[in-house]
Amino acid sequence: MLDVDVRSSSTLVPGLRLVLLAVLFLMALTADTRTAFAAPGGAGLDVPPPPAAASSPFDREGMWIWYVERSDGGEVGRILARVRRAGIGTLYIKAGDAGHAWSQFNRDLVGALQRGGLDVCAWQFVYGDSPVAEARVGAAAVRRGADCLAIDAEGSYEGKYAAADRYVRVLRGRIGAAFPVSLAGFPYVDYHPSFPYSVFLGPGGATVNQPQMYWRAIGTSVRAVYEHTYLFNRIWKRPLYPLGQTYGGTGRKGILRFRRFAKSYGGLAPSWWDWQETSRAGWRALGARIAGPVFGYRPVAGHPLLRRGSRGDLVVWAQEHLQAAVSQDLPVTGIFGKRTSTAVREFQDGEGLPVSGTVGTATWGPLLDFDPVRPLWAGRRAKRGGGATASRALPPRRPLSASLPATAYEIDPGPAP
């Protein structure tokens, strides 16, 4: 910008003074024009480019798409313009339901969005009735160019340990062990004692956890949904990327607060459900600047407490780690009984911890340093041939806790999307 000393302008000759005034007028006009045509939600700034690519597609703020045709008409140009204004770097597009692939997730769409600077992830809704077919649908989406795969497994998968095990093993056999995969499931683990979180988020499973933290649908506050979710999901030792809601009248304040709490809980990028139900105010809230973490707030840093009588997949996870740490003979039942308590005491004594026989925050820390034993819930096929070399097929199995009903549904399971 041209520096002008206003204090000495009266000494300039009239002609030069008019030239300088004309220059200043043009500069002011240019500034006004730039502001007048600023994109909505951009706080008076030009439309920014897509957020820079990160080490993982999950590291960019994301938006979920159920139906492409209901998301700005499915027009790539309009989609790119909107996500740039909102600071979205990753799109999660539905690619399959059960064992059926959706044609909307195709190479042409994926390629066009990627050339526009976005990461494109496929998501599929799975039920567990045909796990091999479901795994094939997920693998097909990866072949079509997906940058990651999100598994939406909910109430239909409760109790289905063998199906989850088969799905994960077949999927990884087709896409490789390193491909980025997330589980987008119920956030309140303690409500779902028979859901196989320990399979989906265990060895060979998803590399990322994206719990559906729909605070308004749950009927709670943003703060409460973070505290409950993180307390029970921390034990999986998977990066936790919050999945928030923009539907159901969440409003600008709720979305902004959710974004700030995400920063308070480690700063991993949130994603949002879903495009077709996001209002104009919601889009503006996604693109607005936020102040940073919630001022003066201290995140919940504990772990769930397990003791004699505890039941569910949390106990399954603890038993798998205790098998690796102290006792290979400890059965994985999902029931915290005498043998589990004895194994916990042995572990605590060996680690120099207070010997209580319960698993709380002080015990979870060192226990999770051990790689859990991975049960073969899906069973095994018999070897071909006969005679002494033949082996009997092992039937599918599951822990005793797999028969437990959900204590509640924080999110209405309803019809699958």
* CA atoms 351, 354, 355, 358: torsion sign: negative
The pLDDT score that the predictor gives to residue 46 is: 29
pLDDT higher than threshold 80 for residue 41? no
* Distance, C-alpha 216 to centroid of its chain: 18
Q: Is the pTM of this model over 0.95?
A: no
Least confident interval from 185-189, 194-198, 208-212, 379-383:
379-383
Residue 309 token pair: 């009588």
* Long-range contacts of residues 344-351, Cβ cutoff 8 Å, at least 24 apart: 344/318, 347/322, 350/326
Q: How far apart are CA 363 and CA 348, in angstroms?
A: 7
In the chain the domains, ranked by start, together with CATH numbers, are 57-287 (3.20.20.80)
pLDDT higher than threshold 50 for residue 37? no
Helix boundaries (H) for 37-106: 76-86
State how beta strands 90-97 and 100-101 pair: antiparallel
The pLDDT score that the predictor gives to residue 3 is: 26
Report residue 390's pLDDT band, with 50, 70 and 90 as the boundaries.
low
CB contact at 8 A, 211 and 174: no
For every residue of 111-139, DSSP letters joined together read: HHHHHTT-EEEEEEEE-SSSHHHHHHHHH
Bridge partners (DSSP) of residue 97 are: 100, 125
Residue that wins the pLDDT comparison between 2 and 68: 68
Helix (H, G, I), strand (E, B) or coil at 100: strand
* Distance, C-alpha 84 to centroid of its chain: 21
Q: 90 Cβ partners below 8 Å, 6+ apart?
A: 57, 58, 60, 61, 62, 63, 118, 119, 120, 121, 147, 148, 271
Could you read off the pLDDT of 227-276 as tens digits, one per residue? 999 999 999 999 999 999 999 999 999 999 999 999 999 999 999 999 99
